[in-house]
Amino acid sequence: MTRLLRVELGRLVARKVVWVTLLAAVAIVLVTLFGVFTQARQIDHARSGADASYQQMVEDNERMIEECKLEEAQERRRSGDPSVDFSCEQMRPPSIEDMYGQMPALTDQYRMLLTGLVYPFAFLALAMGSTAVAAEFSHRTMGTLLTFEPRRTRVFVAKVVAPALAAVPMTVVGMVLVLLGVPAVFRWFHLDDGVPADDWRFLLWMALRVVVVAALAGAFGAAAAFLVKHSGVVIGVLVGYLVLAEGFIGNMFFSVQRFLLGRNIDAFVNDGAQWESWDNCTGFSECVPVKHSITGTHGAVELAVLLAAVALLAWARFRTADVD
Tens place of pLDDT per residue across the chain (324 aa): 678 888 888 888 888 888 888 899 999 999 999 999 998 888 888 777 777 777 788 888 888 888 888 888 888 888 888 888 888 878 777 777 777 777 888 899 999 999 999 999 999 999 999 998 998 888 888 888 788 878 889 999 999 999 999 999 999 999 999 999 999 998 888 887 788 888 889 999 999 999 999 999 999 999 999 998 888 899 999 999 899 988 888 888 878 888 999 999 999 999 999 888 877 677 666 777 888 899 999 999 999 999 999 999 999 998 887 777
- Overall number of domains in the chain: 2
Domain check: are 301 and 241 in the same one?
yes
Q: Are residues 163 and 67 in the same domain?
A: no
Check whether residue 147 and residue 180 sit in a common domain: yes
Same domain? 74 vs 199: no
> Which range of residues forms the domain containing residue 81?
51-97
Same domain, 148 and 205: yes
Tell me how far apart the alpha carbons of residues 221 and 24 are, in angstroms, rounded to a whole number.
17
Residue 236 shares a structural domain with residue 161: yes
Same domain membership, residue 163 and residue 275: yes
- Shared domain for 166 and 82, answered yes or no, is no
Domain match, 15 and 110 both: yes
One domain for residues 108 and 60: no
- Beta-carbon contacts of 57 under 8 Å, excluding residues fewer than 6 positions away, are 93, 94, 99
Within this chain, do residues 83 and 64 fall inside the same structural domain, yes or no?
Answer: yes
Q: Which residue among 62, 97, 132 closes a domain? A: 97
Q: Pick the last residue of a domain from 67, 82, 97.
A: 97
Helices (H), the chain: 2-14, 16-48, 52-79, 96-100, 106-138, 141-148, 152-188, 197-228, 231-241, 250-252, 261-269, 296-320
pTM summary value: 0.83
Residues 196 and 314 in one domain: yes
What letter represents residue 98's amino acid? D
